[in-house]
Amino acid sequence: MTSSTHRVPFDAPLAPVPLLGKKPFVVPLHEVEGLDSFLREHSSIPAVRLCSVLWGTPCRRPLCPWCAHEKAKALRSLWVEKIDPREPSLFVRLSGASTHDLSQAWSELSSARKRFQSTRWLASNSRSWMRTTEVTHCWGLWHLHDNYVVFGTPLELETVKREISSRWVAAATAEGVVASPGAQYADYSRSTAAVRHYILKGIMDASDEHARGRTPGDILRGYHQGDADDAERWAEVERLFLDHPRGIILTQRGGALRNTANAADVDFS
């Protein structure tokens, strides 16, 4: 952390979490013509340059549109297989302060998460949960969130809803990470299908709906279309993955969702 870094607390969520079932328009980035050769030519990550899902040699990097698409498919089928759509759940969104520096934002979120999960409080108060990290860029700042969907008994869900935000803020504060209580969100999901869509959308979806910030998928699309600022932002995204070759874990499952038969198929980011 440097004192010169401009920091803005992420106090006001950019828009309400879309849990009402309205599916946002998504650009299937893995189908954009010419993007594969563009990325092969311009990526600074050797594995991504050599990726070929078609020939059975996927790079398995979460920022690769083709591998991200495959992983999203695997997670969706896991979800359909394991989760009853009528089962009540909580949707939780946890974050630290937004910053200009993506690597710093990642390190802070990771250390807060490590501290938060070290007590196994969530595991003790749920039947299962899934976490995905959302990365967006808006107003010159990187916004990182950990999104959780949590399943459990009514008593467990009530406990998690009541306590998770303050436990998260305490864990972040103990790590020296700024996390405002007002920026955290925990409430019952109104639609499990909408939560599934939201939590499994991955960082490589491009949407054209930038009210909540632009995803790395939007940024790659802008770079492909010739936007010089997006070229710089994409370089920052790639640098994060180069600097943490094994440390960028964007999805995680706990409890009954952890030990599943096809875990090997989905655990590749």
Using CB under 5 A as the criterion, which residues of the chain lie in contact with Zn ion when the complex forms?
A: 51, 58-59, 64, 66-67
Distance CA 255, CA 122 (A): 9
For CA atoms 134, 265, 157, 162, the dihedral sign is: negative
Tell me the closest approach of the beta carbon of residue 29 to Zn ion, in angstroms: 12
Tell me the closest approach of the beta carbon of residue 245 to Zn ion, in angstroms: 14
Nearer to Zn ion, 43 or 136 (CB): 43
Tell me the closest approach of the beta carbon of residue 126 to Zn ion, in angstroms: 32
Nearer to Zn ion, 55 or 139 (CB): 55
Nearer to Zn ion, 29 or 122 (CB): 29
Tell me the closest approach of the beta carbon of residue 199 to Zn ion, in angstroms: 21
Q: Are strands 128-138 and 89-95 parallel, antiparallel or unpaired?
A: unpaired
Q: Could you give the residue ranges of the DSSP H alpha helices within 9-128?
A: 35-42, 46-49, 65-82, 102-118, 121-124
For CA atoms 212, 233, 224, 250, the dihedral sign is: negative
Tell me the closest approach of the beta carbon of residue 86 to Zn ion, in angstroms: 35
Nearer to Zn ion, 49 or 114 (CB): 49
Nearer to Zn ion, 132 or 269 (CB): 269
For 164, the 3-state DSSP assignment is helix
